[in-house]
Amino acid sequence: MAELSNAVDIANAVRNGSVSAVAVLDQYLARIDARESSIHAFNLVTREQARSMAAKVDADVKAGRDPGPLAGVPIALKDNMCTRGVPTTCSSRILDGWKPPYDATVVTRLAEAGAVFVGKTNLDEFAMGSSTENSAFGVTYNPHDTSRVSGGSSGGSAAAVAAGFAAASLGSDTGGSIRQPAALCGVVGVKPTYGTVSRYGLVAFASSLDQIGPFTVDVRDAAVLLEAMSGHDPLDSTSIPQPALSLQASLDRDVKGLRIGRITDLPGGSDSEVEARLAESFDALAAAGATIVDVELPSMKYGLTAYYLIAPAEASSNLARYDGVRYGLRVDAADTNAMYMATRAAGFGDEVKRRIMLGTYALSAGYYDAYYGKALKVRRLISDDFARAYQKADVLLTPTSPIVAFPVGAKVDDPLSMYLCDVFTIPTNLAGHPAMSVPFGTGAHGLPVGVQVLAPTLGESVMFQVAAHLERVAPGGAK
């Protein structure tokens, strides 16, 4: 694996004129040319747009204008974020040919910060999956071992950063879709507090759970990207009315005295080496003067079940608009209902159909109380459990994923075992809390392991403080 430059260093060099944004871009495009065919991180590489964005950054620098904190940083966007005039597919055939007439708020904000967009990355169709094998356009392979998956659903974005195709990327996280692929690809991935980053222009999977966040090569970059993306957006009613996060100051703060929570009733089944890395991360924080405290999250074990009712229920409604009437794929048929059915049968893949059926069922008259209604109650219980735990602890640590990157095809016929990949990440989304994955050594086959740092609502500062420490002490000389 090539040594990866971080976004902060690139932006500094571009801003002070020591390197041009175009030259930086050329390096990244060269890496894409060399290796993309064996990784398939992208649905689309936006070469021309990237060149013109980079040239504009250079022109700004030359004219004495500051292009912003992400000046010339090549960034890849998950292909479920709307980009004006550029196809946005969600890795689904149903959106065939659709070009959004508008940019997502995050896209606008990163562009204003000087970022250069290199392309749209592959994902599990509509972000439904944990391996990026559910894409209509093929698998994204893990840069650490191309016989293995990159994780998902933001596998393309994780792989793009890990392979050096982009200095950073954006993903979306509904049940772990940023953190799990970050762990499997050995990069940093952050799911911010729900409402911190605007969802305007993010194609919805499960609206009450979806949140956009960054993939980066190190923790500082993640802080800088989040600072650029976050802050209230009047176009998203669920956006928290507060200014952008301020995180960089917390990165160098000592962890001494912090209370680090260990969940004593954490669901089992993790690889022994994953468990060993987690234990080492607690040891490292204790050695630095933090206090390890035991907490219980008894309802955490129901999180997966509640999630697989709530997320599909919302998805069944969110995906109903893909009916062939106004945009995307249309398969003609004898009448309107037949056209709907033919279009949706041809346009959606199996996992999407599975979840639409699950969600429709969960919301149906006579079943609502037993399924969706009960799942909402579990969701509240999980939030209550977290609230109690955060009375005792400032942050919690868990593995990000119970296992390291698995071979392509190993779980495709077993949806339940695929769903279990997200057992540690899902409860965070149900509670609306922030969490991030930090690379912390390796596991089986020398593959990356991620440790997950969880924090309460708007606890990003302390979360980054702990994550930055873990990064400094990570085994194997991780960055």
Binding residues (CB under 8 A) for other proteins: these are 81-82, 88, 90, 95, 98, 100-102, 104, 199-204, 206-208, 234-238, 313-314, 316-317, 320-321, 323, 325-327, 335-337, 340, 360, 363-365, 368, 372
- Contact 466/255 with Cβ under 8 angstroms? yes
State the minimum distance, in angstroms, from the CB of residue 202 to other proteins.
6
For residues 437 and 182, what is the distance between their CA atoms, to the nearest angstrom?
7
Residue from 465, 406, 441 nearest 186 by CA: 441
**Given 5, 20, 78, 157, which residue is catalytic?**
78
- Contact 166/180 with Cβ under 8 angstroms? no
**Count of all residues that appear for the chain in the document:** 479
Q: Nearer Cβ to other proteins, position 89 or 442? A: 89
State the minimum distance, in angstroms, from the CB of residue 196 to other proteins.
15
**Given 92, 131, 135, 153, which residue is catalytic?**
153
Q: Nearer Cβ to other proteins, position 81 or 474? A: 81
| Cis status, amide bond into 153, omega within 30 of 0 | yes
State the minimum distance, in angstroms, from the CB of residue 205 to other proteins.
11
Residue 78: active-site member: yes
Helix or strand holding residue 32 (H, E): helix 21-39
State the minimum distance, in angstroms, from the CB of residue 386 to other proteins.
20
For residues 340 and 331, what is the distance between their CA atoms, to the nearest angstrom?
8
Q: Nearer Cβ to other proteins, position 372 or 406? A: 372
Local structure of 28: helix, strand or coil: helix
State the minimum distance, in angstroms, from the CB of residue 410 to other proteins.
31
State the minimum distance, in angstroms, from the CB of residue 95 to other proteins.
7
Q: Nearer Cβ to other proteins, position 98 or 165? A: 98
Residue 246: active-site member: no
Residue 150: active-site member: no
CB-based contacts of 170: which residues, under 8 Å, 6+ apart? Answer: 75, 76, 77, 78, 81, 106, 110, 157, 212, 213, 214, 215, 225, 229
Q: Which letter does DSSP use for residue 126 in this model?
A: G
Q: Which residue has the tokens 């990003």?
A: 460
State the minimum distance, in angstroms, from the CB of residue 121 to other proteins.
16
Q: Nearer Cβ to other proteins, position 297 or 313? A: 313
Q: Nearer Cβ to other proteins, position 287 or 325? A: 325
State the minimum distance, in angstroms, from the CB of residue 104 to other proteins.
6
Phi/psi of residue 173, nearest 5 degrees: -130, 110
For residues 200 and 102, what is the distance between their CA atoms, to the nearest angstrom?
10
Q: Nearer Cβ to other proteins, position 9 or 236? A: 236
Q: Nearer Cβ to other proteins, position 220 or 344? A: 344
Tokens of 207: 């609206």
Q: Nearer Cβ to other proteins, position 372 or 440? A: 372
Angle (CA) 340 341 346, round 5°: 105
Tokens of 62: 């030359």
Helix or strand holding residue 216 (H, E): strand 211-216
Q: What is the dihedral of CA 475, 291, 192, 420, to 10 degrees?
A: 70
For residues 56 and 420, what is the distance between their CA atoms, to the nearest angstrom?
45
CB-based contacts of 114: which residues, under 8 Å, 6+ apart? Answer: 11, 14, 57, 60, 67, 68, 69, 70, 71, 72, 73
State the minimum distance, in angstroms, from the CB of residue 340 to other proteins.
6
**Given 91, 131, 169, 177, which residue is catalytic?**
177
Expressed in angstroms, the distance from the first to the final Cα of the chain is: 13
Using CA atoms, how far residue 128 sits from 58, 113, 192, 418, 443, in Å, is 39, 30, 19, 11, 26
Using CA atoms, how far residue 464 sits from 91, 222, 253, in Å, is 31, 9, 10
Question: Which residues are catalytically annotated?
Answer: 78, 153, 177
